Structure 1
Amino acid sequence: MQRARIFFTGVGGQGTLTATKLVSLTALDEGLPVTSGEIHGMAQRGGVVESTVLVGYMSPKITHGEADLLLGFELLETLRALCYLKPGGVVVSNSQALPPLSVATGKAAYPELEAVRAKAQAAASKALFVPCRTLAEQAGSAQSANTVLLGAACAVGALPFGMEALERSVRKYLKPALAETNLKALALGAGAAQS
């Protein structure tokens, strides 16, 4: 069994918790022992959302330096969460910004993509940045950006199961009206990861 500590970070409205649930349910369907937790999530749009999925561990917590995989649904939150990544861990992140309230109100500056990429590459064995919103729109809905990111993570072998298992979960756990768009989003994310 492949053990994994996965740290999810994004902002409210991006589907971070939906992605967390999808990964947890997929791992369960694959017969893997799963513990999941929400570290602190603000349901309103723009608030920071952090959650965890641990496969093969009893605790739902991930402390600094423990995550095997950091899934960043928002670029600045990826930068902020790098401290959770273990040495040699993997980062899969959205390359497109969704500036938080602190940036919108001028209280904070937003980092450049290349600065975030450089810090992620310094901390990780692999750091992949994917234009999730653009690919989600190509799939048919900007709301599928979360599954674009999951498709990219799966394609580089960062999740403890394969693409077929993830596709089965999309069909099984998402509403039928959303499944086709999200299957396209998975494929586009996987394609971006392999290009």
Structure 2
Amino acid sequence: MTRARIFFTGVGGQGTLTATTLLARTALDAGLPVTSGEIHGMAQRGGVVESTLLVGGYKSAIIAPGEADVILGFELLETLRALPMLKRGGFVVGNSEALQPVGVCLGRECYPPLEAVLETAKGFAAQVVLVPCISLAEQAGTAKAANTVLLGAAAACGALPFSVADLTRSIEKYLKPKLVDVNLKALALGAEAAKAGQAA
């Protein structure tokens, strides 16, 4: 049986919970038992959103520090903050583009450079894949599909117990018809970025 503990982190408005639900449905369609939970859910736009997805028969939706097989980071700083959740040798797949918090925009705080986040992540993970999710989503047709770009990258690099084809079926089955085409494009662009080594 395929087993995986996946920790999602991002900020409000990025579709973190939508991505969690889509993966949960993909697992159920594959006949895999799944447990999911929100840690800080439904945050206001810009607030932290964290969720968990445990595939393969876990009884609790809780992931303790050092237990996650995969971190899916929808925002660069939140990916950095979530690294202690990862087990040694796990996967980090994240958005390389920042959504700067208010404190940074006002000049009160500093945002870490991409290179520093990447180096820190490499100290925790066996594999780190960072892709420009927002830019690729805009290429697909809307920045709102950045979450699907990230899922495509994660599936393509082997971080998920599902293939890009599995996610394609889920998008076609579960998303509103008007959202299917743009999300399929976003999924493909994310997968191509991960495979082509465009990841940071």
The bucket for the TM-score relative to the shorter chain is over 0.9
Deviation, structure 1 residue 42: 4.2
Q: Counterpart in 1 of 2:120?
A: 119
Deviations 1:16-54 (A, max 9, x none): 000000011100111000000001124311000000000
- Mapping for residues 116-195 of structure 1, pairs under 5 Å: 116-195=117-196
SS of match in other structure, 1:144: helix
SS of match in other structure, 1:63: coil
Query: 1:64 and 1:100 mapped to 2: Cα distance?
Result: 24
The code of the aligned residue for 1:119 comes to T
Aligned-residue sequence identity (percent) comes to: 69
Query: 1:161 and 1:186 mapped to 2: Cα distance?
Result: 13
SS of match in other structure, 2:46: coil
Query: 2:168 and 2:42 mapped to 1: Cα distance?
Result: 28
Kindly report structure 1 stretches of 4+ aligned residues shifted beyond 3 Å. Answer: none
SS of match in other structure, 2:25: helix
The code of the aligned residue for 1:174 comes to L
Query: 2:102 and 2:66 mapped to 1: Cα distance?
Result: 27
RMSD: 0.9
- Mapping for residues 90-105 of structure 1, pairs under 5 Å: 90-105=91-106
Query: 1:162 and 1:190 mapped to 2: Cα distance?
Result: 10
Unpaired stretches in structure 1, ≥5 consecutive residues: none
Q: Counterpart in 2 of 1:55?
A: 55
Query: 2:24 and 2:103 mapped to 1: Cα distance?
Result: 31
Query: 2:10 and 2:115 mapped to 1: Cα distance?
Result: 19
- In the superposition, the TM-score normalised over structure 1's length comes to 0.98
Query: 1:83 and 1:11 mapped to 2: Cα distance?
Result: 18
